[in-house]
Amino acid sequence: MKIFIVGLGLMGASYAQKLTSVGHDVFGFDKDHNTNLKALNEGVIKGYNLKDMKDCELVILALYPNQIFEFIKSNLSYFDTQLITDISGTKTKLLDEVLELLPKSINYVSHHPMAGREKSGYDHKDVTMFKNANFLIIDSHHAKPHHIETIKKLGLDLGFKRQIVLSAYEHDELIAHTSQLTHLIAVSLMLMNKNEHTKDATGDSFRDLTRIANINEILWTELFLDNKNALIQKIDEFVDVLGELKHDILASNEVILKEKLKESKKRRISFDETNTR
């Protein structure tokens, strides 16, 4: 398949490298010209001319969420029969804008690769990060069944394990919990710290819970704001549950505490059984 990838940062470059390695004809473009030259020299892409988008079957927009709309708007003349997709971490706001902009004849199926790294940019590309990760595909009124199949195939080619199809709304609600709330928690754990000895009193739990506090502030500010409604609701739900645990501790509700921890253990073990990597 002839594929064009717009944006050759961490994600776009990793997509390009992996898709090239499994035999696709991959073209790409980055706003940084040196990145284009490097990707071409390393054999990660076959060319970096935006015009090549015209006869590609698939165009992958590996841009920050806020750049996607602008890119499509500025390059509308290149789009015709291709299938367009994007990798944005939030979907409702983006698809509302993009699907409003696009003519009905243009094929668009959004997806979200549930994988990442703390470091960004072309030089940190790493095809192993997709292995056995989850791959979410967004169903919308623009998404035809055979195009959803194409995106499923893309996920398989990249090495993702499970392909789930869901609505933009359901996606954003789930992601608010599993991804955005978890990042806000990690950030809060780092920001609340006033004791210089904290680093000496840490075990694996603190290390694990704050790994993602090493965060890309530009991307995540966008993601938090784009998914504001779902995220605020998840913060409130989380603070409620934590507040109830605090109440149980204050009141020395030993029996209730043990029951809650047992339930947590049960859920986490069940999660691991279906979600090992």
* 86-125 residues near a second copy, rule: CB under 8 A: 114-116
Residue span 197-236 as binding mask against a second copy, x where in contact by CB under 8 A, dash where not: xxxxxxxxxxxxxxxxxxxxxx-xx--xx--x--xx-xx-
Collect all residues with Cβ–Cβ distance below 8 Å to 187 and sequence separation of at least 6: 213, 215
Q: Which stretch binds a second copy (CB under 8 A): 8-16, 28-36, 52-60, 131-139?
A: 131-139
Q: Is 261 in the site for a second copy (CB under 8 A)?
A: yes
What are residue 5's DSSP bridge partners?
A: 28, 60
Contact residue for a second copy among 6, 16, 60, 136 (CB under 8 A)? 136
Contact residue for a second copy among 35, 60, 188, 230 (CB under 8 A)? 188
What are residue 58's DSSP bridge partners?
A: 3, 83
Q: Is 183 in the site for a second copy (CB under 8 A)?
A: yes
Contact residue for a second copy among 10, 127, 168, 184 (CB under 8 A)? 184
Contact residue for a second copy among 12, 96, 171, 230 (CB under 8 A)? 171
For a second copy, give the closer residue by CB, 107 or 179: 179
Q: Is 131 in the site for a second copy (CB under 8 A)?
A: no
Q: Is 132 in the site for a second copy (CB under 8 A)?
A: no
Task: Supply the minimum distance, in Å, between the C-beta of residue 223 and a second copy.
Answer: 10
Task: Supply the minimum distance, in Å, between the C-beta of residue 102 and a second copy.
Answer: 26
